[in-house]
């Protein structure tokens, strides 16, 4: 089968347009194109949207890099005059919405300076740059300046799904047949009796359409909820003098927004203050070079990203007045890329459809030839009647019906159903899947490269130890702080507090309740809290404002340090630096000794400090060094020094391991998944945490990023399989590790990331996992899954659901192919051997094939020879239309999924165990049905006028129960115990119950309409027993060995886990 699916191979991430077009052109025999391809990207629409997007980007680029130069030569007197409305003037505003939008959009510095700069703009917007907007003015601002929302494509209504369901070719033919039936019925049986069958068909078609539309509409609502979650972006603003976190969609003109590294600029605005603010405008202009934003270049555009630094901006334009708003109209136009499973199952459906078409043509040819030969033998070849024409029409109907039942439309749609179900459940479990294919791919993950801080640890940091004046102290509450103050001179304590409070990106702000709150990274917050513990309360923190910040170099994952130069009240200049302990230590040539004096730092003393760093790190503490340097320069342009610092203190910060992480790591190892910690921390700290988590084992390698990058390709082949910890790594080191794992070893790699610089690794990995709490907007935008609680256990849960999606679809395919094989064989041989396809076996097969695979049944009532009425068939079809998929494709994951190895990249989807089960069950069902069909009356001792109807009912009933029990068998492809977890799946139990209940109703109470007769309890018991025998047969089949991969050793060194009957 896999060799026939070459045109249906698709990369799970960023597939090429050629591959997308190739599989579309290979799909044939589609009954309902609108429904089948609803969850498939429209490449033509996408191409047009891309052209529009590029046009907007080019327009923006010209405006930014050409027009602003031309504006210098435009006379201010020629500018457009904007007349402010009375409504705006009465609300206290002094600038027209279009005027301020034009200034920012065109980067018009001249007009901004003519007005008086950002302070005057703020005054015209009736806002304070310190206090922000008042809550009372928000409504009037939205009315006059607009909402920060974009024009979105309207969601599809329920009626549109009804219309899609009506496009099914089989339903169209069925409605034509209903009209013909009504016409013939009235002519032969009169009004109203002759209309019953036709009206019943029409009513049943209406119910089929309704149920299909409801199912599809509910799926669309699930995806709509997921889209809403994806668009949730929050920023910090100052309102009424208090810092608040709000959605970007609640931003109004005049808001003072606080930006930091990794944030998305939520609206067009003007720079107020900040430092080292580097903006990536490539999403708007296409220019890759980032732009420095400062007082000279004060304009920020919505949708751009903060690549580095921090700052405050005044919101000037929102919503559709921004260029980003126009771009947003084209986002997701054409839909999301289809997943590899969807494509593969479209291929399976196509292949089965071609086989069915072959069977149909052969059947039509055989029946027609036999009819003509018989007619010639009777000497009637020259005379033709309407009955002859009706027979040929019946033969054609038979052929069409075989084609219809052989196209399993439900296969690709089952993937969508399963993914929608899994994504909804994962969202409840704190994992937001941004791309459908990631949910599938995560089930095949063989390696997870995870961060340490916040993922394996709690990210609730506290200063646990300090080494100052050549003495180490444990910090445990106020008593420890008092002891530290007692044994430390006032001068040293003062310089320590300055180093903490001056050199920080965190802030102490008032929240809505007026309480002081520290805003900043967990590391920064831990240092500020430590400073406050030493007696420098929040009022003392205000002393920072007496110092003038001259220059700031913010922390990032490349520099691994933060530096600041401040002007002192007495006119002096001092630099402070903090960061990774080894890096800061190398920058120091002096140290504060045990007497509180500044002394030289020779090599032997530096080695002693290194020993202290390593001892702190071996206790799983994150180490930071704090240092300062006096600069003999006046206030002005002062470069941040890279050397000559004096070491003040070494701080050890405790970040406890998350509860349950060790167990989750062991679960991953048991599942054949290698966990590698990739962190920027000290190698000793990382190793200690890794050992605590159970990550670093005997024989495992802990390596530093720079050392890894220095390895040759041959060395990497030897070392990479053993790497369990990579410390002091840069984002490029992580990217290199991921690339080599995928290219050298064929691993399916999942990577976690939270910083802006992690974006390349997140894009390169098979599955990018961004942190929802610590992660920046840049990281989230480049990720496939967002871990909302930053918890490693949630990542394991995503793996479990990914595996569940894959295996659930396999179960459904196995179940469906079994029905297909039986139905096609019976149809063909009934037609070609008995010459009467429309008999007591075939109609049940039509309906049951369709009821389990989600297709509609064509019932031709022209000959009147069908033992089952169209109404009865449609009722059964309605009950079972998507229930097989719903039962098997939505089963929740069980712990057993994580006790088997991951599915290898490029592995066969339809496995040999699946073929074994399909063929075995098909043979059993064919034998039973053939015996009942040809010798049932004699074996059962049936007699009387209704013996044939009783036998027909028994065959139909037995076939239904064979599928019911086979549905249960399909719950596990290889394990014998198929009942495990069944009673936890209420959907599965409900579907089985509904199926059996409706079967009882059809057989016992709908005889008049369904051409069945009530069965006695012995025949009911026989039907159930015939179905139940498929369960011991399944056990026997699962004990038959099938060929498996003979390789036992994984390249990472662990033994391959058992699969097949051993897992029973």
Q: Rounded CA gap, 464 and 651, in Å?
A: 8
Give the torsion through C-alpha atoms of 673, 677, 678, 679, to 10 deg.
160
Distance of CA 1020 to the CA centre of its chain: 47
Pairing of strands 749-753, 785-787: unpaired
Torsions phi, psi for 3 (to 5 deg): -65, -25
Burial zone of 1018 (CB within 10 Å; 0-12 exposed, 13-18 middle, 19+ buried):
exposed
Distance CA 574, CA 565 (A): 6
Q: Would you state the structure tokens that stand for residue 138, as one six-digit string?
A: 């928000």
Between CA 247 and CA 269 the distance in angstroms is 17
Tokens at residue 1030, please? 């498929």
Cβ-proximal residues to 642 (8 Å cutoff; 6+ apart), any chain: 587
Instruction: Say which residue the tokens 């702000």 belong to.
Output: 509
CB-based contact 1026:928 (threshold 8 Å): yes
- Alpha-carbon distance 235 to 789, whole Å? 18
Radius of gyration of the chain (CA): 36
Q: Which residues does residue 566 pair with via DSSP β-bridges, in sequence order?
A: 549, 574
Q: Do 500 and 530 touch, CB atoms closer than 8 A?
A: yes
569 neighbors 543 (Cβ within 8 angstroms): no
- C-alpha torsion angle, residues 311, 259, 285, 117 (rounded to 10): -40
As a three-state string, the secondary structure of 379-405 is CCCCCCCHHHHHHHHHHHHHHHHHHHH
**Other CB atoms within 10 A of residue 581 CB:** 28
Q: Which of 451, 758, 766, 784 is labelled catalytic?
A: 451
Identify the DSSP state of 601.
-
Of 228, 196, 209, 157, residue with least CA distance to 871: 196
Two tokens at 213?
């539309």
Cβ 307 vs Cβ 290: under 8 Å? yes
Q: Rounded to an integer, what distance in angstroms lies between the CA atom of residue 866 and that of residue 333?
A: 48
Per the annotation, the verdict on 790 as an active-site residue is no
Yes or no: say if 703 and 733 are a contact pair by the CB < 8 Å rule.
no
3-class DSSP state for residue 339?
coil
Cα distances from 808 to residues 5, 799, 812, 961, 1061, in angstroms, run 20, 14, 6, 21, 19
Residue with token string 């050397």: 643
- Select from 555, 65, 513, 6 the least CA-distant residue to 299: 65
Q: Which residue is associated with the tokens 């002192």?
A: 568
Whether the link from the prior residue into 950 is cis, omega within 30° of 0, is no
Among 759, 757, 780, smallest CA distance to 770 is for 780
First to last CA, the chain: 27
SS (H, E, C) 495-545: HHHHHHHHCCCCEEEECCCCCEEEECCHHHHHHHHHHHHCCCCHHHHHHHH
- Bridge partners of 465? 474, 652
Residues 6 or more apart whose CB falls under 8 angstroms from that of 313 comprise 256, 257, 259, 265, 269, 270, 271, 272, 300
What is the torsion angle, in degrees rounded to the nearest 10, for the CA atoms of residue 29, residue 836, residue 1016 and residue 935?
-120
Give the residue numbers marked as catalytic. Answer: 451
């Amino acid at each position: 089968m896999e060799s026939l699916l070459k045109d249906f191979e698709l990369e799970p991430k960023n597939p090429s347009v050629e591959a997308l077009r190739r599989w579309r052109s290979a799909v044939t025999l589609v009954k309902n194109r609108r429904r089948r391809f609803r969850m498939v990207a429209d490449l033509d629409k996408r191409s047009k949207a891309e052209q529009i997007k590029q046009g907007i980007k080019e327009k923006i680029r010209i405006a930014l890099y050409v027009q602003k130069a031309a504006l210098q030569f435009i006379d201010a007197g020629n500018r457009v005059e904007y007349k402010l409305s009375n409504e705006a003037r009465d609300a206290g505003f002094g600038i027209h919405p279009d005027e301020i939008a034009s200034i920012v959009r065109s980067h018009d510095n001249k007009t901004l300076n003519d007005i008086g700069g950002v302070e005057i703009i703020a005054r015209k917007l009736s806002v304070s740059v310190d206090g922000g907007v008042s809550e009372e003015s928000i409504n009037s601002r939205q009315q006059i300046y607009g909402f920060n929302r974009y024009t979105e494509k309207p969601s599809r209504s329920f009626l549109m799904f009804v219309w899609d369901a009506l496009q099914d070719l089989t339903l169209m033919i069925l409605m034509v047949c209903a009209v013909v039936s009504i016409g013939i019925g009235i002519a032969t049986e009169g009004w109203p009796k002759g209309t019953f069958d036709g009206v019943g068909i029409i009513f049943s078609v209406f119910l089929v359409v309704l149920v299909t539309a409801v199912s599809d509409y509910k799926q669309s609502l699930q995806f709509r909820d997921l889209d809403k979650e994806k668009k949730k972006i929050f920023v910090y603003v100052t309102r009424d003098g208090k810092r608040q976190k709000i959605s970007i969609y609640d931003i109004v003109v005049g808001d003072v927004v606080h930006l930091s590294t990794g944030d998305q600029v939520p609206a067009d605005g003007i720079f107020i203050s900040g430092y080292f603010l580097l903006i990536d405008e490539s999403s708007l202009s296409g220019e890759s070079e980032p732009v420095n934003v400062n007082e000279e270049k004060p304009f920020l555009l919505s949708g751009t990203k903060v690549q580095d630094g921090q700052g405050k901006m005044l919101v000037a334009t929102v919503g559709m007045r921004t260029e980003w708003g126009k771009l947003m109209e084209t986002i997701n136009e054409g839909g999301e890329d289809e997943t590899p499973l969807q494509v593969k199952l479209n291929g399976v459906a196509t292949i089965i459809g071609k086989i069915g078409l072959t069977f149909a043509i052969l059947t039509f040819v055989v029946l027609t030839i036999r009819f003509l030969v018989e007619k010639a033998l009777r000497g009637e070849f020259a005379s033709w009647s309407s009955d002859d024409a009706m027979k040929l029409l019946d033969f054609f109907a038979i052929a069409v019906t075989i084609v219809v039942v052989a196209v399993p439309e439900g296969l690709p749609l089952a993937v969508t159903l399963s993914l929608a179900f899994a994504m909804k459940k994962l969202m409840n479990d704190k994992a937001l899947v941004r791309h459908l294919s990631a949910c599938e791919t995560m089930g095949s993950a063989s390696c997870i490269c995870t961060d340490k801080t916040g993922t394996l640890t709690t990210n609730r940091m506290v200063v646990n130890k300090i080494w100052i004046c050549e003495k180490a102290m444990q910090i445990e509450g106020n008593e420890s702080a008092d002891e530290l103050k007692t044994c430390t001179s006032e001068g040293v304590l003062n310089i320590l507090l300055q180093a903490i409070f001056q050199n920080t990106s965190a802030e102490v702000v008032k929240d809505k309740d007026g309480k002081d709150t520290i805003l900043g990274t967990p590391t920064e917050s831990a240092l500020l809290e430590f400073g406050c513990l030493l007696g420098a309360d929040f009022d003392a923190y205000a002393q920072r404002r007496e110092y003038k910040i001259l220059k700031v170099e913010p922390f990032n994952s490349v520099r691994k340090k933060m530096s600041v130069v401040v002007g002192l009240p007495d006119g002096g200049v001092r630099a402070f630096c903090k960061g990774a302990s080894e890096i800061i230590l190398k920058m120091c040539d002096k140290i504060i000794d045990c007497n509180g004096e500044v002394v030289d730092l020779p090599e032997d003393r530096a080695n002693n400090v290194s020993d202290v760093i390593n001892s702190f790190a071996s206790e799983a503490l994150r180490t930071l060094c704090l240092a300062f340097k006096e600069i003999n320069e006046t206030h002005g342009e002062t470069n941040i020094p890279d050397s000559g610092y004096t070491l003040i203190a070494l701080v050890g910060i405790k970040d406890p391991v998350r509860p349950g992480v060790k167990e989750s790591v062991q679960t991953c190892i048991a599942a054949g998944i290698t966990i590698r910690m990739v962190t920027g921390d000290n190698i000793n700290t990382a190793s200690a945490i890794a050992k605590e988590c159970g990550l670093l084992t005997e024989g495992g390698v802990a390596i530093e990023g720079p050392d890894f990058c220095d390895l040759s390709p041959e060395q990497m082949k030897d070392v990479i399989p053993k790497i369990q910890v990579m410390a002091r790594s840069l984002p490029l080191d992580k990217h290199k590790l991921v690339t080599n794992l995928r290219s050298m070893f064929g691993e399916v790699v999942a990577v976690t990331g939270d910083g802006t610089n992690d974006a390349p690794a997140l894009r390169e990995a098979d599955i990018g996992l961004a942190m929802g709490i610590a992660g920046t907007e840049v990281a989230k935008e480049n990720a496939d899954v967002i871990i909302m609680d930053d918890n490693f256990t949630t990542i394991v849960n995503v793996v479990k659901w990914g595996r569940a999606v894959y295996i659930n679809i396999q179960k459904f395919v196995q179940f469906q192919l079994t029905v297909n094989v039986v139905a096609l064989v019976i149809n063909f041989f009934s037609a070609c051997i008995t010459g009467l396809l429309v008999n007591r076996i075939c109609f049940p097969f039509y309906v049951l094939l369709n009821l389990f695979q989600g297709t509609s049944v064509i019932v031709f009532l022209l000959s009147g020879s069908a033992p089952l009425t169209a109404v009865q068939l449609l009722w059964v079809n309605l009950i079972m239309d998507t229930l097989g998929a719903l039962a098997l494709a939505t089963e929740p994951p069980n712990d057993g999924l994580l006790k088997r190895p991951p599915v290898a990249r490029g592995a066969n989807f339809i496995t040999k165990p699946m073929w074994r089960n399909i063929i075995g069950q098909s043979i059993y069902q064919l034998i039973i049905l053939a015996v009942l069909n040809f010798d049932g009356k004699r074996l059962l001792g049936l007699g009387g006028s209704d013996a044939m109807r009783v036998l027909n009912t028994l065959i139909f009933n037995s076939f239904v129960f064979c599928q019911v029990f086979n549905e249960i068998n399909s719950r596990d492809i290889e394990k014998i115990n198929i009942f495990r977890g069944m009673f936890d799946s209420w959907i599965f139990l409900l579907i089985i119950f509904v199926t059996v209940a409706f079967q009882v109703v059809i057989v016992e109470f709908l005889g008049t309409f369904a051409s069945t007769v009530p069965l006695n309890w012995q025949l009911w018991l026989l039907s159930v027993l015939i179905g139940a025998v498929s369960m011991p047969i399944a056990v026997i089949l699962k004990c038959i060995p099938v060929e498996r991969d003979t390789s036992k050793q994984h390249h990472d060194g662990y033994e391959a886990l058992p699969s097949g009957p051993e897992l029973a």
